[in-house]
Structure 1
Amino acid sequence: MVHLAPTRGLGRPVAGDGRSGFTVLAVASGGGHWEELMLLRPAFDELDMVFATNIRELADREGLTRVHILPDANRDVPIQALRCMVACAKLIWQVRPHMLVTTGALPGLFCLVFARMLGARTVWLDSIANSDRPSLSGICAIPFATQWFTQWRHLETKRRRYEGALL
């Protein structure tokens, strides 16, 4: 019997451990973004999970082994943002996720855009810290997100869903 690995995009195999045949890449910057993403972990227990963040110690603290470390980036330092964008493109090409879930910030946005370009389903969950308006990264993610969630009922619109808060 021949076992063919699931393919994505240009017929290249999907990376993963093969537990489910469905790879989810979960991406978050450090701090609150990461903490919120970790609250979602139980929802993906049966899936082939890969994580990405910009702080290795966070992954070590959670006991995660399938983690990619991305360069830190923000909009105020364009050269760092460019380095991060390139690293995100390489990561998406390597992992070929079927789904990408992110709680933001900029590295999550870059990964979300590239994953969507390769046909993955994408989920943006805006941080609970954004109580007055969506984050800038979140606003940029709207055209690329298959699903976009806010954690504040008053920010819900036709495109921004509210299903409750993580915290």
Structure 2
Amino acid sequence: MSDKKILAVSSSGGHWIQLQRLRFDLLDKHQTSYMGTAIGMQDLVEGKPFFVVQDCNINEPLNTLRCFFQVLSVVRKVRPDFIVSTGAAPGLLTLLAGKLTGAKTIWIDSLANTKKLSVSGKLAGYFVDLWLTQWPELGASGNGKKGPEYKGQLI
């Protein structure tokens, strides 16, 4: 096991399932803690540190503010070297908190976003260290504009 500390975070549902698909090839080879938006999510990472934060979205400013302070607290506690997120808003906020504390950040846009990037994915592109999409058409070379990298289907 590597001495690198990773914080892997996502919202529940498809985002969490996609994050779990990274576990055995990548995340379980390091000291990985997980963060999600529902207690039941911890069942898939039994034995690993797990933190629950408020779910939020752009239409819920108070929940978003509460979530940001929760994720900042977790980031300060875990002190990860890297933060990986598959979305959505809580993952974006965690990546932002990570940047503020010196962690390297990775955004992997959802496999479901076949035609356009998610809102959170677009915002992540402004500050993350590695910005990835799973569709060649959405990658920077696929549309001729600034955008995420396409390195093949990751999940």
Q: Same fold (TM over 0.5)?
A: yes
- Aligned with residue 34 of structure 1, among 16, 21, 34: 16
Quote the residue 2:139 is aligned against. 156
| 1: CA distance, partners of 2:71 / 2:128 | 16
Quote the residue 1:127 is aligned against. 110
| 2: CA distance, partners of 1:163 / 1:84 | 31
Using the TM superposition, give the Cα deviation of residue 37 of structure 1 relative to its aligned residue in structure 2, in angstroms.
0.3
Quote the residue 1:147 is aligned against. 130
Quote the residue 2:96 is aligned against. 113
| 2: CA distance, partners of 1:116 / 1:28 | 17
TM (normalized to structure 1)? 0.84
State the SS of the aligned residue for 1:143.
coil
| 1: CA distance, partners of 2:106 / 2:132 | 8
48 and 61 in structure 1: CA distance in 2 versus 1, 3 angstrom threshold: closer
| 2: CA distance, partners of 1:99 / 1:62 | 18
Quote the residue 1:4 is aligned against. none
Asked which structure has the greater CA Rg, the reply is 1
Q: Which runs of 5+ in 2 are unaligned?
A: 141-145
- Aligned with residue 102 of structure 1, among 85, 91, 99: 85
- The alignment of Structure 1 onto Structure 2 pairs a total of residues equal to 149
Matches within 5 A, 1:8-27: 20-27=2-9
Mapped contact 2:138–2:147 kept (Cα < 8 A): no
Using the TM superposition, give the Cα deviation of residue 64 of structure 1 relative to its aligned residue in structure 2, in angstroms.
4.4
Which residue identity lines up with residue 131 of structure 1 in the other structure? T
State the SS of the aligned residue for 1:51.
strand
Which residue identity lines up with residue 47 of structure 1 in the other structure? H
Q: Which runs of 5+ in 1 are unaligned?
A: 1-18
Mapped contact 1:36–1:166 kept (Cα < 8 A): no
Which residue identity lines up with residue 48 of structure 1 in the other structure? Q
Which residue identity lines up with residue 20 of structure 2 in the other structure? M
Quote the residue 1:58 is aligned against. 41
Using the TM superposition, give the Cα deviation of residue 99 of structure 1 relative to its aligned residue in structure 2, in angstroms.
0.3
